[in-house]
Amino acid sequence: MDIFEKCQTYTAAKDVQALGLYPYFIPLTNSEGTVAWIGEHKLIMIGSNNYLGLTMHPKVRQAAQDAVRQYGTSCTGSRFLNGTLELHLELERRLAEFVGMEAALVFSTGYQTNVGAISSLVGRGDFAITDKEDHASILDGCRLSYGKMRRFPHNDLDGLERMLASLPEDAGRLVIVDGVFSMGGDIAPLPQLIEICQRHEARLMVDDAHSVGVLGDGRGTAAYFGVTDQVDLIMGTFSKSFASLGGFIAGSANTIHYIQHHARSLIFSASIPPSNAAAALAALDVIIAEPERSHRVLEIGRYMRDEFQRLGFNVGASQTPIVPVIFGQDIRTFQAWKMLFDAGVYTNPVVSPAVPEDLALLRTSYIATHTDEQLEFVLEAFEKVGKELGVI
């Protein structure tokens, strides 16, 4: 059998393209944070993870430009060899302090952070236990490890308890959860998770990709609940609130030292460019100096949830600036996306198999710099589309 045969017979995307409803890989002509252009078409951006609006912040942009002038465009090597700059070390020191851990390690992307940290820690005879709605990078990290993966139903504390109790007593166990779940926008119940993990001598890792910069005055989910000293590992990314590219893992000094010498995605990848490290550092400065940004984006999330529900939309269990609007049925979701796109609103459709078909949704996410006028424009567009499609 020709290994490329699957490429010839793959038609799912082509079918949607033929209907004029294909929503992916659309190139932006320009972007100003809350506004984007595709050609001459202007849209209100509610499909970005730029939660604090820092991609356009003058301090962040200037820091990236200054780093290029000083260091050039790339380190052209891995962190393990010639790819570590003092800039990276400063960023690691600052991040560890910020999230309340002893040490931190910076990777080239958030995806590589999860893949590298999990696969280096979970060895033969060990178990990685994940929430069924954890990010794909967590699942891939588990699959690339030499251990076994177990998955419990979303936020099912009793299910996690039973699962941990069923494992061999002498097995190492790492429980990994998203702090904020990227599709539903709900928050992991860390205090209860910690109690269960402690009863079963399991370590706990929290993926704060969508939490750092947003919850706990920007310090993440553990800070939000006041349990930082009871969490073993905190992971974060720079491609969201930090307006850059890269990721980090933070924990005890010994654990980070071990990951640093065993994570293949760190050792065999080029380090993040100086401009990205400098931008992340500048973003960190802004997050600390301007906590009102995280407060504002949480207020916007609350307002939009309330307004969508008032209009009759289903927004699931969202508690954050990630607000899913559930349309059900893949084709209806694509239709809603296209109608909103034409009306000047940019959203992200999420359909099966990423979610069950009856829960197909438009993922909306908000930025601290969205204006009240922009939010009202979005709500008016959604109300019109929801009525035309018979959803509300």
Q: What is the pLDDT of residues 104-125, one digit of tens each?
A: 999 999 999 999 999 999 999 9
216 in Cβ contact with 224 (< 8 Å): yes
Single out the catalytic residue among 135, 240, 265, 275. Answer: 240
pLDDT at 242 over 90: yes
pLDDT band at 1 (very low <50, low <70, confident <90, very high): confident
Q: What is the pLDDT of residues 38-90, one digit of tens each?
A: 999 999 999 999 999 999 999 999 999 999 999 999 999 999 999 999 999 99
243 in Cβ contact with 99 (< 8 Å): no
86-99 and 274-289 helices, crossing angle to 10°: 30
Active site residue 239: no
Strand extents, DSSP E, 97-178: 103-107, 127-131, 148-152, 173-178
pLDDT band at 182 (very low <50, low <70, confident <90, very high): very high
Q: What is the pLDDT of residues 17-35, one digit of tens each?
A: 999 999 999 999 998 899 9
pLDDT at 273 over 90: yes
Provide the pLDDT for residue 12. Answer: 82
Single out the catalytic residue among 210, 211, 239, 370. Answer: 210
Taking alpha carbons only, the member of 177, 153, 284, 294 closest to residue 233 is: 177
CATH H-level superfamily of 7-55+291-388: Aspartate Aminotransferase, domain 1 (3.90.1150.10)
Active site residue 210: yes
pLDDT band at 234 (very low <50, low <70, confident <90, very high): very high
Average the pLDDT over 341-369 and give the result.
Answer: 94
φ, ψ of residue 324 to 5 degrees: the values are -75, 140
Q: Is 169 helix (H, G, I), strand (E, B) or coil?
A: coil
Provide the pLDDT for residue 32. Answer: 84
Provide the pLDDT for residue 11. Answer: 87
How many CA atoms does the CB half-sphere of 345 hold within 13 Å?
A: 28
φ, ψ of residue 135 to 5 degrees: the values are -65, 155
Structure tokens at 269: 């990848």
Average pLDDT, the chain: 97
pLDDT band at 222 (very low <50, low <70, confident <90, very high): very high
CA distance 5 to 304: 45
Share of the chain above pLDDT 70, in %: 100
Provide the pLDDT for residue 352. Answer: 87
Provide the pLDDT for residue 299. Answer: 98
Q: Which position has the higher pLDDT, 12 or 215?
A: 215
CA distance 119 to 126: 11
Residue 226 zone, left/alpha/beta (φ > 0; ψ -120 to 50; rest): left
Return the bridge partners of 311, or none.
none
Return the bridge partners of 270, or none.
78
Tell the CATH topology of 57-289.
Aspartate Aminotransferase; domain 2 (3.40.640)
Calculate the CA dihedral of residues 141, 147, 151, 157 and round it to 10 degrees.
Answer: -110
Q: Where are the domains of the chain?
A: 7-55+291-388, 57-289
pLDDT at 355 over 90: no
How many degrees, rounded to 5, is the angle at CA 17 between CA 13 and CA 21?
A: 110
pLDDT at 279 over 90: yes
Provide the pLDDT for residue 124. Answer: 96
What is the layout of strands, in order, in the sheet containing 361-365? 322-326, 361-365, 348-350
Provide the pLDDT for residue 47. Answer: 96
Active site residue 244: no
pLDDT band at 15 (very low <50, low <70, confident <90, very high): confident
pLDDT at 294 over 90: yes
Single out the catalytic residue among 120, 182, 294, 365. Answer: 182
Of the ranges 57-71, 255-269, 342-356, which one carries the lowest mean pLDDT score?
342-356
294 in Cβ contact with 210 (< 8 Å): no
Residues near 219 by Cβ (< 8 Å), separated by ≥ 6? 98, 99, 100, 212, 228
Average the pLDDT over 369-375 and give the result.
Answer: 98
pLDDT at 353 over 90: no
Q: pTM for the whole thing? A: 0.96
Q: Is 237 helix (H, G, I), strand (E, B) or coil?
A: strand
121 in Cβ contact with 249 (< 8 Å): no
Provide the pLDDT for residue 219. Answer: 98
Provide the pLDDT for residue 341. Answer: 98
